[in-house]
Chain A
């Protein structure tokens, strides 16, 4: 069952189309990643889904309802974490959660939520004295306190340190296990790759790819790259003579071989035959990062200004 359906969504600011004819649908219980460079229309799209903006064209259905007209009924079922929205300076973590909990008919256990988000020792700390990461986690907690069916998280882990980021990811994964649908706006590939069931890649207001993270990676050339330091000098031409190899580069003593197919086996067996030891051998595979750059890079050839 689709809980969110977006059809031909268009939103203009003056002459500029922030979102230009975007369509997609999100299934119940799915973690749906929205990925794209700044100005690609990600935030405008999710804010339209949250009922904060009125589209110029197209339709949006959330749980079968119109996010603008049925906003009052949707507010209790959609939890939203916004970019650039703060709280009063002097409100404490526990007070903010209790206040927001009072808005909902069946709120989550605020104590448990505070613990889940690692804010247990900050429950009586004023908002202005929290670190950026702590503010971010409180903001996520406020989006979840109403036990929503859908959570929209815009820039989930911006400002979090790696440890806090991983803890937050665990929390999102546990939400999926409870059947919550999550719309996740991010510009972190690792986050999208790890959490999302499907990823929508946005560029210049359009949807340029929509697939599973693995599916998106396979849309670009499945290149692999080997880096190693040969124990004895080796001619470039020997390596580039292999049919699997596309490119050979050097960076000081390190040789970088780029190729496709079974390039790893071809290169290592050549080195073995020549009795060359490949020191510090590393194999890099294309990941969502490469795919993203390739997809948005293709686009930016025409519209460079979008990739600021």
Chain B
């Protein structure tokens, strides 16, 4: 337990000394919210959006930026760097099983994502009067499952990427796809129907996040899909993980 705590404290310190990473992860969704919010202003309810304002449907999916950055970029690139530099190999000669290093990283990123989410919820409410999540438990479930499925994808990349360059080469395009389908670049209502359908089921399951925020329970099928994806990819990642 002492060892797990040391790993978490050390990894948290290392992340804290890398402000570009944690500032982007925590602040970026809120910054995007402020930019879009100031462009569109407190617009009128739009019948095309089911009588909601643009900002109300946009905010729930902004946290995708954070979980996407941490899960698909930060996690695999950091672990690939550790592998490249022999950190993982070195750890494997000590009684600390390197899987605990993975666990420590996941704990830290989860904490970072929760902070980013809370910041987003509070700023959206205070600055633009976006209502609090209407179905908090549903939102939490959609958030956690969506995040786990993205992290499982990141772990598969992290499991085998021999260097930080290789991890980056895979992570960046994947990140853009996740952002796009998640409606971060272009709100999802403007995407073609087929892409919206795909986006319902691809991690992190943006529709579930939106539904839960607006007060309805997220649909079970996409959540179940996210859960299965997490278990399957997580198992694959652990199975193929290479320490050197």
Task: Describe A's contact surface by its main secondary structure.
Answer: loop
Q: Is A80 an interface residue (CB 8 A)?
A: yes
Contact indicator B94/A82 (Cβ below 8 Å): no
Q: Is B7 an interface residue (CB 8 A)?
A: yes
CB distance from A50 to the nearest CB of B (A): 6
Q: A52 and B89 in contact (CB under 8 A), knowing A88-B14, A103-B94? A: yes
Q: Count A-side interface residues using an 8 Å CB cutoff.
A: 25
B5 contact set on A, CB distance < 8 A: 102
CB distance from A74 to the nearest CB of B (A): 9
B82 contact set on A, CB distance < 8 A: 88
> A191 vs B175: C-alpha distance in the bound complex, in angstroms?
52
Contact indicator A85/B10 (Cβ below 8 Å): no
Contact indicator A75/B94 (Cβ below 8 Å): yes
Q: A87 and B87 in contact (CB under 8 A), knowing A98-B6, A102-B2? A: yes
Contact indicator A103/B13 (Cβ below 8 Å): no
B197 contact set on A, CB distance < 8 A: none
Q: A91 and B10 in contact (CB under 8 A), knowing A82-B90, A85-B86, A85-B90? A: yes
| Max chain B C-beta neighbours (<10 A), residue from A52, A75, A88, A98 | A88
B2 contact set on A, CB distance < 8 A: 102
Interface string of B65-96 (1 = CB under 8 A from A): 00000000000000000100111011011111
Name A139-171 residues within 8 Å CB distance of B: 142, 146
CB distance from A4 to the nearest CB of B (A): 16
Interface string of A41-53 (1 = CB under 8 A from B): 0000000001110
Find B95's partner among A75, A98, A99 (CB 8 Å cutoff).
A75
Find A82's partner among B6, B7, B10, B93 (CB 8 Å cutoff).
B93
Q: A88 and B87 in contact (CB under 8 A), knowing A52-B92, A72-B95, A104-B95? A: yes
How many residue-residue contacts, CB under 8 A, span A and B?
Answer: 63
> A88 vs B10: C-alpha distance in the bound complex, in angstroms?
10
Interface string of B8-20 (1 = CB under 8 A from A): 0010011001100
> A95 vs B18: C-alpha distance in the bound complex, in angstroms?
16
Contact indicator B85/A75 (Cβ below 8 Å): no
Contact indicator A102/B3 (Cβ below 8 Å): yes
Find A99's partner among B6, B85, B89, B92 (CB 8 Å cutoff).
B6
B94 contact set on A, CB distance < 8 A: 75, 100, 103-104, 146
A72 contact set on B, CB distance < 8 A: 95
Name B127-157 residues within 8 Å CB distance of A: none
B13 contact set on A, CB distance < 8 A: 90-91, 95
Name A72-92 residues within 8 Å CB distance of B: 72, 75-76, 78, 80, 82, 84-88, 90-91
Name A91-112 residues within 8 Å CB distance of B: 91, 95, 98-100, 102-104
Contact indicator A103/B87 (Cβ below 8 Å): no
Contact indicator A75/B87 (Cβ below 8 Å): no
CB distance from B52 to the nearest CB of A (A): 44
Contact indicator A90/B87 (Cβ below 8 Å): no
CB distance from A71 to the nearest CB of B (A): 9
Q: A80 and B93 in contact (CB under 8 A), knowing A85-B87, A91-B14? A: yes
Nearest CB to that of B94 among chain A residues? A103
B6 contact set on A, CB distance < 8 A: 98-99, 102
Query: Can you add 19 more A-B contacts, CB < 8 Å, to A90-B14, A100-B94, A103-B3?
Result: A52-B89, A52-B93, A72-B95, A75-B95, A76-B95, A82-B89, A82-B93, A85-B85, A85-B89, A86-B86, A87-B85, A87-B87, A88-B14, A95-B10, A98-B6, A99-B7, A102-B3, A142-B90, A146-B94
List, sorted by A's number, 10 A–B pairs whose CB atoms are closer than 8 Å.
Answer: A80-B93, A82-B93, A88-B14, A90-B14, A90-B17, A99-B7, A102-B3, A102-B6, A104-B94, A104-B95
